[in-house]
Amino acid sequence: MPKWKQKLFELKWKRYHPDAFSRFAHLLESERLPADQLRERQEEARRKIVRHAMEHTAFYRQHYAASGFEVGDIGTDGWFEKLPPVTKAHLRSHFEEMTDLSQKQFLRLSTTGGSTGTPTKTGFDGRLPEEIYNWRILNWFGVHPGEDRGSLWRATRTTWRQKFVNRALWWPTRHLQLDASFMTESSLRAFLKQFNRLRPACLQGYVGAISQLARFVIDNQIEAWSPKFVWVTSAPLSPVQRKLIADAFHAPVCDQYGSCEIRWIAQQCPEGKGLHVNVEHVHLEYVDEENHPVPAGVYGRTLLTNLEDMVFPLIRYENGDRGRWLLESCPCGRSLPLIDTVKGRESESFVLPSGKTINGEYLTTIFDATPDLARGFRVIQHRDLSITVEYIPSSDQDVPRIESVIRAFSAKIGGEVPVESRVVHEIAHDRGKLRFVVRER
Ligand SMILES: [Zn+2]
């Protein structure tokens, strides 16, 4: 990337967020700090945000008072785990009270996706340069934030005017976009043509949409430009999809985890060992039914605390995902702790007639041992509790082996319900988000 382009990019950013670059420099330092130093900083940040929320929002004052927690308890033994979690229902019914009204002028709104339930409104502090967490990912893969990118998102700028303004704002950086909600053969072809001409440093987008593009590249034997890396987000990434994307673009794949309420939670480094948590920004916990943290390696419900947002504090917010900490550290030497790739959502667990539950995490791993056999799959539980496994075989010869994997799965759940299999040509996705465990209700 030419130096003048870098300089121009930095000058523009300094107008919007004067401190973004100094904050970013701090991030790159802190990811190499000793782990106990990071933990100390986190504890300090948690005390600050909880105190602030209790003193400046009606919601947290009442929410904590109802469980007997007072400001004076902050910092005492095991204090943080005594705080009752915040749920989506709280967001819906107490939005105003959760806001620090004295700083309301900085509040910005965003709406969480509707694919997993009711869309929910959430708020954030518009002054925070969250982009620096985006830059961190690019930096890990050797990309400057001012370099060109190709992206597959749901289009938010649809008019010519909006598109023009967006392009002018980003200039001289080019952002090539493909609307992930309506992908057709001709739109895929047109995108790839421009993609090969522009040769962007990075390709990013929804897991489902990028997988579909990768499938298209391979099926049509298209020679696609190989970016420095492909960055996917918004849904669990299966080993099958990872291989497909890497094969299509001959590039490493970065799995990033975020939710609409807190976008920059964790991401993979080029070593690809689990996802590094952005501990400067978010405190992540995996907890049991009593909201106590579970040991590393054990799956639990996700609670998230935004450590930087004083305008719309989110403390121990339950986002509905399940996950676990990894025991190992990453060979890259960064001390940001590692979580496992995020598998399924709580709602996606299946229930059998005997009352036994099959975990969503397990359901997504059926083909993990044999990622070459199926190009894609989806497990569906119907209302009568019977199960269908849909899959796209890599080739006709693979069908018998896939069928035996499915029979093994059926045996594993004790044959309690019929398990059928179905060969499909495409796995349906929901606005670019692929859900590979579906429970019909
Ligand atoms: Zn690493």
Whether residue 172 has a cis bond before it, omega within 30° of 0: yes
Task: Calculate the average pLDDT of the chain.
Answer: 88
Q: Which residue in this structure is represented by tokens 């996606």? A: 348
Q: What are 273-330's pLDDT values in tens digits?
A: 899 999 999 999 999 999 999 999 998 999 999 999 999 999 999 988 888 999 888 9
pLDDT at 114: 39
In this structure, are residues 319 and 117 in contact, taking their beta carbons and an 8 Å threshold? Answer: no
> If you measure from the C-alpha of residue 142 to the centroid of ligand 1, how many angstroms do you get, rounded to a whole number?
14
> If you measure from the C-alpha of residue 331 to the centroid of ligand 1, how many angstroms do you get, rounded to a whole number?
6
Q: What is the mean pLDDT of residues 197-214?
A: 92
pLDDT at 361: 61
pTM: 0.81
**Could you tell me the CA-to-CA distances from 184 to 71, 108, 180 in Å, in that order?**
56, 34, 10
> If you measure from the C-alpha of residue 231 to the centroid of ligand 1, how many angstroms do you get, rounded to a whole number?
15
> If you measure from the C-alpha of residue 146 to the centroid of ligand 1, how many angstroms do you get, rounded to a whole number?
23
> If you measure from the C-alpha of residue 326 to the centroid of ligand 1, how many angstroms do you get, rounded to a whole number?
12
> If you measure from the C-alpha of residue 145 to the centroid of ligand 1, how many angstroms do you get, rounded to a whole number?
20
pLDDT surpassing 80 at residue 217:
yes
Nearest Cα residue to 50 out of 318, 282, 315 = 315
CA of residue 441 relative to chain centroid, distance? 25
DSSP-derived letter for residue 236 is P
pLDDT surpassing 90 at residue 198:
yes
pLDDT surpassing 60 at residue 176:
yes
> If you measure from the C-alpha of residue 238 to the centroid of ligand 1, how many angstroms do you get, rounded to a whole number?
19
> If you measure from the C-alpha of residue 413 to the centroid of ligand 1, how many angstroms do you get, rounded to a whole number?
36
pLDDT at 156: 67
Q: What is the mean pLDDT of residues 15-38?
A: 93
More confident call, 139 vs 260: 139
> If you measure from the C-alpha of residue 1 to the centroid of ligand 1, how many angstroms do you get, rounded to a whole number?
25
More confident call, 158 vs 378: 378
Cα separation of 364 and 246, whole Å? 20
> If you measure from the C-alpha of residue 214 to the centroid of ligand 1, how many angstroms do you get, rounded to a whole number?
25
> If you measure from the C-alpha of residue 329 to the centroid of ligand 1, how many angstroms do you get, rounded to a whole number?
8
pLDDT band at 120 (very low <50, low <70, confident <90, very high): low
Q: Which of 97-101, 184-188, 397-401 has the lowest mean pLDDT?
A: 184-188
**Helix, strand, coil % over all residues of the chain, rounded to 5:** 35, 20, 40
CA of residue 270 relative to chain centroid, distance? 17
pLDDT surpassing 60 at residue 116:
no
pLDDT surpassing 80 at residue 215:
yes
Beta strands 107-111 and 121-125 are antiparallel
> If you measure from the C-alpha of residue 275 to the centroid of ligand 1, how many angstroms do you get, rounded to a whole number?
8
Which percentage of the chain shows pLDDT scores above 70?
A: 92
